[in-house]
Amino acid sequence: MLRPSYPIITDRLILRPFTEEDLDALHAYQALPEVTRYLYWDPRDRAATAETLHRRISTPALAREGDTLVLAVLLRETGELVGEVNLGWRSEEHALGEFGFVFNPAFHGRGYAGEAAIEMLRLGFERLGLHRIIGRCDGRNEASARLMAKLGMRREAHFVQNEIVKGEWTDELVFAMLNEEWSARH
């Protein structure tokens, strides 16, 4: 089981479980078409955001295979919610995890997603003992692909038109890192 000690504090950020008080800030970016463009879900109305928030609040730890931990990312200086990072435990037998990130576009380009993503990789490798963590993105999502490469993840796959997302065939990129690669970098 992975139950981090909260909050997780970096140079500029605070990572912690979501709370009911995060609804307005979460909805502010989950309702934006530019945020959901490359995701499986469409912009959410307030009720759908509230439902998503309740699911996140109910999983403050990774207790078993199939669980996904989603943490709120706040600016240390102001306490403002700027995005979220997640870590899913995909296979206990194969010690496999998957991570991801979604950020409010008002805070893009400042390195916050990378700073928060490093902490999720750290949790997966150093606390949960995962052997391998993957990250996936829509092939058109150049910013996410660049971030995963910058984190030291290897691009392992480019699946051409492998899924229909929002009515159109899309490519998918898969990045990965092994625990030994993480250890060598950190």
Domain boundaries, the chain: 8-185
pLDDT interval class at 56 (50, 70, 90):
very high
Query: What stretch of H or E contains 33?
Result: helix 33-36
- Answer for the pair 172, 159: CB distance below 8 angstroms, yes or no: yes
At 163 the pLDDT is 94
pLDDT at residue 74 is higher than 90: yes
Contacts of 184 (CB under 8 A, 6+ apart): none
Cα separation of 51 and 44, whole Å? Answer: 10
- How long, in residues, is the chain? 186
Helix (H, G, I), strand (E, B) or coil at 112: helix
Percentage of the chain surpassing pLDDT 90? 96
Give residue 82's pLDDT.
Answer: 98
- As assigned by CATH, the class of the 8-185 domain is alpha beta
